[in-house]
Structure formats: structure tokens, C-alpha cells
A and B are shown apart, each in its own frame.
Chain A
């Protein structure tokens, strides 16, 4: 899996403030019978965006502005629930490259990193500022590991595993690295 390298992104934010947004909200299970990973953006947050008869709701995700946003701000504990990689696939297909929250669930975080979607767990104060300022022009700099907020919002550092940062900046997943360890794996299996 390869994706566009990610270094610096400046974009308006889209804010979904609810805490504990789970992967069943991000993409409902009935859309998981697909056998490819393409085109899932239309089902991102499907049950928030469409009524039962399929007509679009007035949810912010259905606006043209939203589709220009590359940075998603989620409430605390974003992405909890299942291991479905369809969740980050649907978000990247929709157009997001960054998810910021005060806490992000482990499996969702791991899946995001492998698909060019940068998960950022940020300081509570910065998170609150972001929740309070939807649509703000925010810069995420993966080189310096900084989130820069406009106006008087300030600049915040974030932590990311060095290896994951490297993969995101190169636009590669970990398969190649694992393949290079074939000898070590063979030696382990021989013991």
C-alpha cells in the first residue's frame, strides 16, 4: 500500500465534537461486505449523512466546504470499537489526511498510520481550542511535529513514533521493512 507522502498540511478543520465516536459511526458494518478498499468515502458516517430512504441530511459532512477539509477534529476517544480498516479507508477517500483528538483508540490509530492518515493526540487545551473553533485554518507539520493554530491559538508539539513518521513522510507502509527482516525471522523460527 502506498499513499501520497505527508509533510505539511494547511487546511480548514472539520469538527465532530462528540466523545467516543466509534467505528460503527465512521462506517456502519453493513458496508463491510466489500472486497476492495476503494470508494468507501461515500459511506463515511453514512447514518449521520443519510436518512433511511437515502436522502441527504443537513449534516455538516454533506456540505461542499466539508469536502475541502483535510483535518478532522474528533471528540475524546475517537475511533473506538472494531478493527475495521474500512474506517480510515473511508476517511481518506472522503478527503481527510489528519485526525486530531485528545485520545484516539489504539487499533484505529494503528490502521490510520498505514493508510496515510495522520492520527494526532494533542494537549487538552489545544483540543478544546480546536473544538471551539470549527473551520479554523490549521497547519500540521510532520517535519517539526507541530500543530499551529491561527490567531492566538498557539503552537503545540505532538508525539509520533519515529518509524511511523518516516513511513508517512515517505508514503510507504511497513511491508517492505518487514520483508527486509526475512533472515531474522528465519533465525527465530529455527530456534
Chain B
């Protein structure tokens, strides 16, 4: 045992302290990687201009366009932006990053994609880093053993100008999930079960660390799905210790370190020491986790798909059940579905698309259930097409779209109509998130695909072998 055992979070935190915190001021924390996109950066660049400041480290800044971008292309190759303002926002990102010399993956790049898909694909996301972005799902990058968290636009400005942030050290919480997951239980189900357990505010003030055999056995795609939704439990970041699976993922990628073996040796030393203490620990058993769906209007209102809709515990939950047209005490399977969305920074990577394709292969999307599959990036799109996954989706009657955030945040025009029920692989089921009046059920890619081919909420495990 080490003399002063430290957690993964503490080790990375201490490496990045420029000025330690005191009672009078927070710590000044150095940021290794700053990811930016069109929605939360324009006002930050305005502040730089007003104050006559430069971007301190353009070489540590990477940009893309994802939120406001259309997922369709016109026949002439142009892109149908939802509004002029959306197009202007994208143009402004491109102009700002050009002016300040920031590497940008726009429409002409093979790497353009959802910012949290792109960073890892480029190998820009690495263990031991501090990573920020004006987007709460920056927690995704914690899958690599990095402190990665979302910031607001004022802080985007702070990082652009100083490459640092002022922060108090959060508390730490270990979430242990040990054992073997059952057949048909995915990473999405694991994180939904965790959020249901600790609650949507349960992680507020904490950095999470996911520990145990379930996470150790996951692929990087799966780990990213888990860490992505840390914020849905209220935690700004969630980490998993880097290991051989992490190193193998990063090897050979564009920004992977030149001296890769030495880097791996250092990264391996980041894992939490035996005996290190957390402020809080939570234990779940893998065997208890079943495929999960949400039934209310926040991600903590999640239930096993083969269970009964729980009774409301307060007025807000009562209202949520009404909004969702869910009946407490009844099953959720069999509820009529109007749309299916497979995509988002939670579930738009190769593992996710393969899982959805396995269910859709040889089956047909039920007429009237609009189903769109939106790959997370140009890289994913190319790889999925090389594997023929797009043909499985289109043969089934689903649409295969251009990469972007799409219906997860519904600000590019991809949305549901009032009252429609959407089974969605995204991360938030807040009222109106996918369009005013739209009702969202969060689920895994398997469950979403099963909804598409049956027209109702369906336990994908009951379909197996039927194809």
C-alpha cells in the first residue's frame, strides 16, 4: 500500500494546480484540452474582442460544429439549416476559430462530429488530462481517466484567454458495480440504473469514479456511454481508470503521444491507490440491473423495462406521469411509439450502431414510426458504411443521416411533434427537450431498435432469435 493513497481524481487534480486554493480564493486549475462548438462560444469570443485578449493556447483548443447543423443534405450538396440564425451561428464559429488560429473540423473535415465523439477519435482526449467544453456532456471524456467537465460561456472565455479555470475541489464518490451483466443489458442500462439509484441530484458537488468488474470489462464506447450521463446524476464529471483497453483505443490516433509506451506507463500509474478514501461510496450488483427505460421527465425516473411504472412520490412526479401519459402500476411495454432516435453523444458510436443493427437486421420499421439513425461523426459514418450497417437501417425503413447532435437537443430542426412518444438513445427526457410537447423515453440502442420494429415499447430480449 502506498503511504498516502490517492484517488484517480486527486492524482489528476494535483497535477493541474497552478495556484492552490485557500479560504480566500479557489484553485487556479490548468486545462489541457478545450473543445469548442458553435452554441456556447460566440459570446466568449465577443468578450475576448472587447477586452483585446488573445487565445492563449490555440494548440490546446479544438473546434467543431455539431448542435445547429442539419443532418440532411440537399441534392445540390447544400445544407438545409433550420433558420438563418442557426447558419449564422455556424458561420460565426468558423470565422472565430479562423481568426484565432484554432484547429476546426467543419463540413470539409473527415473528423467533424459531435464534439464528444470527435475528441476521442482524434486521440486528443487522453488519460490524466483536464478537459473542458461549453457542454455538460463533456463528462464523456472521463471514460479515458481524465477530469472532464462542462462549463458555461463565461468560463469558455476564461479558458480561451488564460488556459485556466478557478475551481474548488469537488468531493469524490466511488460507484462500484461488480458481477456479470445479464444478456441484453447494455452500458446505457447500467448508467440509467445508477442514476435511478442515486437520483438526479445525487452527484451534485461530487466527481464520480466508476469502479468494478463491469466497467473494467467494458469497451471504450461503452465506458463513454456511462461517463456521458454522469451529469444526469448531477455530477460534473465521472471517471474510469485508464487500462490496456484505453491504451489500445488511443494507439495510432492523430494526437496520440509520440512516445506512446512511456505515456502508457505514466497513465497506468493514475489508477486509484489501494486504501484511498472517497467521500462517499455506492454499490450496485450487476446481476440486479435489467434493461432500463425512463417513464417520467427527468433521467432519474427510470425503471426496468419489464417492470411496472412506479407510483409518483410527489407533485412533480405526478405531473410528469401526466405529461408522459403513463399509468402507475401498469407495464411500460406496449406503449405506442411515434418516433425512434438512435444517436447523440451518449449512443452514436460503432458499438451502439452495431447493437441497433443486430435488432433491425431482417426486420421492418413499423409504418408511421419515423426512425432516424444519426452517426456521431464522419468517422463513424464511414466505418458504419464500410460494415454495411447503413444498409441494414435503410432496408428496415430507417433514415441514415449526417452526423450531429440532432434530436437529442432538437435545435437543428430534427424534432418530434407535440404529444408524440419518442424512444431515444439520448441523455435527457426533460419536458419539451425533443420538441414542445414531445414525450421522451430514454433507452439503449437495442431497446430503441426494438421499438422501431414493433411500434411499441418492447423488451428487445423477447425478440432474439426471431430475426
Contact = CB atoms under 8 A, between A and B. Distances in A.
Given A29-B409, A177-B166, A19 B152 contact: no
Interface residues of B, number: 69
Given A29-B410, A33-B86, A77 B431 contact: no
Interface string B314-347: 1110010000000000000000000000000000
B20 to A, nearest CB: 10
Nearest to B138: A83
Nearest to A115: B154
A178 B430 contact: no
A52 B436 contact: yes
A191 B300 CA distance: 43
A59 B161 CA distance: 42
Contacts of A19: 314, 316
Given A24-B430, A33-B68, A33-B411, A77 B234 contact: yes
A135 to B, nearest CB: 19
B351 to A, nearest CB: 25
Contacts of A171: none
A47 B155 CA distance: 28
Nearest to B84: A33
B431 A25 contact: yes
Interface stretch (A4-12, A64-72, A102-110, A139-147): A102-110
Interface string B158-174: 10011110101010000
Contacts of A107: 136, 150-152, 231, 236
Contacts of B162: 175, 178-179, 181-182, 185
B28 A85 contact: no
B319 to A, nearest CB: 7
Contact of A175 (B47, B150, B316): B47
A106 B164 CA distance: 18
B28 A178 contact: yes
B135 interface: yes
Contacts of A22: 298, 428, 430
A77 B89 contact: no
B277 interface: no
B276 interface: no
A18 interface: yes
Contact of B150 (A36, A83, A178): A83
Interface string B417-461: 010000000001011110011000000000000000000000000
Interface residues of A, number: 52
B49 interface: no
A77 B204 contact: yes
Contacts of B154: 1, 85, 111, 114-115, 173
B85 interface: yes
B365 to A, nearest CB: 26
A52 B39 contact: no
B89 A35 contact: yes
A185 B163 contact: yes
Contact of A83 (B42, B47, B151, B200): B151
B89 A174 contact: no
A52 B135 contact: no
Contacts of A20: 200-201, 298, 300, 316
Nearest to B167: A110
Nearest to B133: A83
Interface string A103-135: 101110011001100000000000000000000
B92 interface: yes
B80 interface: no
A179 B152 contact: no
A181 B204 contact: no
Given A1-B47, A173-B154, A179 B411 contact: no
Contacts of B200: 20, 77, 80
Contact of B152 (A111, A175, A188): A111
Interface of B: 18-19, 23-26, 28, 30, 39-40, 42-43, 46-47, 51, 53, 56, 67-68, 83, 85-86, 88-89, 92, 134-136, 138, 150-155, 157-158, 161-164, 166, 168, 170, 200-201, 204-205, 231, 234-236, 298, 300, 314-316, 319, 409-411, 418, 428, 430-433, 436-437
Given A83-B135, A85-B152, A174-B158, 5 more contacts: A19-B316, A85-B40, A173-B154, A177-B25, A178-B28
11 contacts: A1-B47, A18-B316, A28-B432, A37-B153, A106-B234, A110-B155, A111-B152, A162-B24, A181-B162, A185-B18, A189-B30
